[in-house]
A and B are shown apart, each in its own frame.
Chain A
Amino acid sequence: MNDALDVAVRLVVVFVVFLVLPLVVGQTEHKVMAHMQGRLGPMYAGGFHGWAQLVADGVKFAQKEDIVPAAADRRIFQLAPAVALLPYLLVLVVIPIGPSEGAVGQVVDAGIFFVLAVMGVGVLGSLMAGWASANKFSLLGGLRTAAQLLAYELPMLLAAASVAMAAGTVSLPGILNAFHWWWLPWQIVGALVFFVAGLAELQRPPFDMPVADSEIIFGAYTEYTGLRFALFLLAEYAGIVVLCGLTTVLFLGGWHGPWGADGLGWVWTLLKTAVLAFVVIWLRVSYPRLREDQLQKLAWTTLIPLALAQIALTGIVKVAIS
C-alpha cells in the first residue's frame, strides 16, 4: 500500500510539473519577446504585467469550436495532438532534479536511451497531423518535419553518447553522480551540438522551417482549432522544458552547484533549466529562419562532424585519465 501511495504521489507531482512549467515558459516567452521587441501587448489583465492574460487565453482556446476538415482522416487527425504531447510527459518522469532518491519520478536503467527514444516518438504527432489534415500546406509541414528529424536525430544521439562514455553509464542519475566541474569545458562542444539539435527537433526558431508561418501558414497545425491546437502549443513548450532539463542534466551538472548542493540541488537544476529556456526564447527573437538546404547542411556538415570529434576527444581523455 505504501509503495502504491509513493508511486501515485510521484506521478501526481510529475503531472503537476508537466502542467505548470510549460505554461510558465510560454508566459515568459510572451513577456521576454514583448520587451525585447519593444511592443508590450496585453499589460492590464490581473495587474502585474498582464499575467492573467494566460488564463484568458486558456479560456479562449477551450471555447473555440473544434473543427475537423471534411476531407480529413478523422481519427488520425484527432489522435495527433495526444501523440505529440504524451511523450514529453513520459520523458519528464525520468529527469532527476535533485541528488536524493526521491528527486526523480522513476529511475530508468537506460535513461538516455529512454528519453531520446520517447522524444523521437513525439514527432510522429506532427507527421500524423500533417498528413491527416488533407491540406497541401500541412503536408509540406509534415514533410519538412520528417526531413528535419532525420537530419538532427543523429548528432543528438552522438552528443549524448559522448556524455555516456565520459560517465561510464547511461542512467541519468548515474551520470550526475559521476559529474565533475571540469566536464563542462570537456563536453562543451557536445553540449552545443545537443542543444542545437534539440532546438531543431522541437522546430523552434531558427529551425522553424516546418511551421514557417510566412510560407506554409502553420505547417502541420494549420487546420487545428481550439483545444487540439492548444495541445500542440503545449507540446512545444513542454518540449522546451524537457530539452533544457536534459541539457542541464547531461552537460551542465544538474543539481551540482558551486555551493549549497546538499539541500538546494533542485534549485540549481531549475535555475539552469530556466536560464536555458531563456536562451531558447532569446534565439527566437534574434535569429532569422534557416532555409531548408541550410538546415540540412548545418546538420550533416557541421553538427555531425563536431559530435564525432567530441566523441573522439572524450575517448582520448577517458583513456588518458584511467
Chain B
Amino acid sequence: MSATLAQAALTAPQGFLSPNGVEIAFLLVGIATLGAAVMTVTTRQLVHAALWLVVALGGLAVEYLLLTAEFIAWVQVLIYVGSIVVLLLFGLMLTKAPIGRSPDADSGNRWVALAVAVAAAGTLVWVVVDAFRTSWIDLDGPAQGSTKVSGEILFRHWVLPFEALSVLLLAALVGAIVLSRKSAPDDAPGDAPAAAPRETESR
C-alpha cells in the first residue's frame, strides 16, 4: 500500500505548521472522535455507551473521508454503525438495558484494561508511523482511496491476507453455529424443543 501512496507523494516539502482547511477539519473531527470514545468507556449508562460508540465510529468514517479513502469510509459506516452497533443494541435490549445509571456497569479490571488499551494504541501508532513515515497524500486532489484503487491494491498486492482473513471469518462463523447448536434437545430433554432451532435461525 505504501508503494502506491508513495507514488502520489508530493515533491514539495510538507510541514505540520502550515495546516490547510482539510487538516484542521481532520484534527477537529479527531478530537470529537476521541471525546466520543472516552465517553463510551466512562459513561455509566449502558445504552448511552453504545450510542457514543456510534458517534466515535462515525467520526472515524469522516476521518477516512477526509483522507480521501471514500470506499473505506462507507464500508466503515455499513459494517460498524449499521450492523455491529445494531447487534450490540439488540443484545443490550435483550438482556438488561435500564434507563438511567447502572451501578454495576463498572469493572474492577479498569486499570488493567487501561494498560492494555494504551499498549495496543502505542503499538498501532508505532506501526503506522513506521510504515508511512515518508508517504504523503494530496488531500485536495482527486481521491486516491477510490473503490477502483482500493480494489486493485486489495486483489493484486494483498490477495493472500485477504483470503486468509476470509477463511478465518468462515471458521468463526462455523464455530458460532457449532456453539449455538451444542444445547441440542438430546442434552436436556426437559427444554422446550422449539427453542434450540429458533436460536440458530435468528442467530
A residues near B (Cβ < 8 Å) are 71-73, 76, 108-110, 113-114, 116-118, 120-121, 123-124, 127-128, 130-132, 134, 139, 142-143, 146-147, 149-151, 153, 157, 169-171, 293, 296-297, 300
Known contacts A151-B202, A297-B201: A123-B93 contact under CB 8 Å? no
- The docked-state distance in angstroms from the alpha carbon of A272 to that of B136 is 46
Known contacts A72-B99, A121-B77: A108-B93 contact under CB 8 Å? no
Known contacts A127-B89, A300-B201: A120-B83 contact under CB 8 Å? yes
Known contacts A117-B74, A130-B93, A293-B198: A73-B82 contact under CB 8 Å? no
Closest B residue to A73 by CB, please name it.
Answer: B99
Say yes or no for B71: interface residue by CB 8 A criterion.
Answer: yes
Say yes or no for B146: interface residue by CB 8 A criterion.
Answer: yes
A113's partner among B74, B86, B93 (CB-CB below 8 A) is B74
Contact between chains at B83 and A143 (CB < 8 Å):
no
B residues near A (Cβ < 8 Å) are 47-48, 51, 54, 70-71, 74-75, 77-78, 81-83, 85-87, 89-90, 93-94, 97, 99-100, 143, 146-147, 198, 201-203
- The docked-state distance in angstroms from the alpha carbon of A132 to that of B93 is 11
Contact between chains at A143 and B74 (CB < 8 Å):
no
Known contacts A113-B78, A116-B78, A131-B47: A124-B71 contact under CB 8 Å? no
Q: Which residues of B contact A72 (CB under 8 A)?
A: 99
Contact between chains at B81 and A124 (CB < 8 Å):
yes
Q: Which residues of B contact A71 (CB under 8 A)?
A: 99
- The docked-state distance in angstroms from the alpha carbon of A132 to that of B100 is 10
17 CB-based A-B contacts, threshold 8 Å? A72-B99, A73-B99, A76-B48, A109-B146, A110-B71, A117-B77, A123-B82, A127-B89, A131-B93, A142-B93, A146-B89, A146-B93, A150-B86, A150-B203, A169-B147, A293-B198, A297-B201
Least Cβ–Cβ distance between A265 and chain B, in angstroms: 25
Least Cβ–Cβ distance between A131 and chain B, in angstroms: 6
- The docked-state distance in angstroms from the alpha carbon of A310 to that of B78 is 22
Least Cβ–Cβ distance between A29 and chain B, in angstroms: 27
Contact between chains at A128 and B71 (CB < 8 Å):
no
- The docked-state distance in angstroms from the alpha carbon of A156 to that of B94 is 25
Contact between chains at A118 and B93 (CB < 8 Å):
no
Contact between chains at A113 and B94 (CB < 8 Å):
no
- The docked-state distance in angstroms from the alpha carbon of A171 to that of B74 is 13
Contact between chains at A113 and B146 (CB < 8 Å):
no
Q: Which residues of B contact A130 (CB under 8 A)?
A: 93
Contact between chains at B71 and A146 (CB < 8 Å):
no
Closest A residue to B151 by CB, please name it.
Answer: A170
> Which 6 pairs between the two chains have the least Cβ-Cβ distance?
A120-B82, A117-B78, A113-B74, A146-B90, A117-B77, A110-B147
Least Cβ–Cβ distance between B180 and chain A, in angstroms: 13
Closest B residue to A174 by CB, please name it.
Answer: B147
Contact between chains at B74 and A114 (CB < 8 Å):
yes
Contact between chains at B93 and A296 (CB < 8 Å):
no
Contact between chains at A117 and B202 (CB < 8 Å):
no
Q: Which residues of A contact B198 (CB under 8 A)?
A: 293
B81's partner among A73, A117, A139 (CB-CB below 8 A) is A117
Least Cβ–Cβ distance between B84 and chain A, in angstroms: 10
Contact between chains at B99 and A124 (CB < 8 Å):
no
Q: Which residues of A contact B85 (CB under 8 A)?
A: 124
Contact between chains at A143 and B147 (CB < 8 Å):
no
Least Cβ–Cβ distance between A175 and chain B, in angstroms: 12
- The docked-state distance in angstroms from the alpha carbon of A146 to that of B198 is 16
- The docked-state distance in angstroms from the alpha carbon of A72 to that of B147 is 43
A296's partner among B87, B99, B202 (CB-CB below 8 A) is B202
Closest A residue to B91 by CB, please name it.
Answer: A146
Contact between chains at A76 and B81 (CB < 8 Å):
no
- The docked-state distance in angstroms from the alpha carbon of A118 to that of B65 is 14
B75's partner among A113, A118, A124, A149 (CB-CB below 8 A) is A113
Closest A residue to B145 by CB, please name it.
Answer: A109
Known contacts A153-B83, A293-B198: A108-B77 contact under CB 8 Å? no
Closest A residue to B203 by CB, please name it.
Answer: A150
A117's partner among B48, B82, B203 (CB-CB below 8 A) is B82
Contact between chains at B201 and A121 (CB < 8 Å):
no
Known contacts A72-B99, A131-B47: A110-B70 contact under CB 8 Å? yes
Extra pairs beyond A116-B82, A120-B78, A171-B147 (10, CB < 8 Å): A73-B100, A76-B51, A109-B70, A120-B81, A121-B82, A123-B82, A132-B99, A143-B93, A150-B90, A170-B147
- The docked-state distance in angstroms from the alpha carbon of A151 to that of B83 is 10
Contact between chains at B74 and A110 (CB < 8 Å):
yes
